Amino acid sequence: MRKDYDFSKGKRGPVISAPTGKKRITIRLDEEVIEWFKKQVDDAGGGNYQTLINQALHEYMVQTREPLEQILRRVVREELKNIG
């Protein structure tokens, strides 16, 4: 490791920019909520728990008549089908 590094040509901001239509935010969720989504992804063999949360929220937004629990169950089932 060198003693000094030259960052004069460095650029601020994320290395990878967010896809069009996506926005980075900070949100506080209960640990049990995050762990539940992470477990769903792990049980499905991989994926991104943040994407799963986004899909669940989007589905809830579009179909507000259906209870959130049913939406989450459907989203998880769809994800499992896509993986298998």
Residue 76: what pLDDT?
87
Prediction pTM value: 0.56
* pLDDT value at residue 13: 73
Q: Where are the domains of the chain?
A: 31-83
Rounded to a whole number, what is the distance in angstroms from the first to the last CA of the chain?
45
| Mean pLDDT value across residues 35-46 | 93
Q: Which residues contact 46 (CB under 8 A, 6 or more apart)?
A: 83
Does the pLDDT of residue 14 top 70, yes or no?
A: no
Q: pLDDT at residue 72 above 90?
A: no
Give yes or no for a contact between 56 and 66, defined as CB atoms under 8 angstroms apart. no
Average pLDDT over residues 34-53: 93
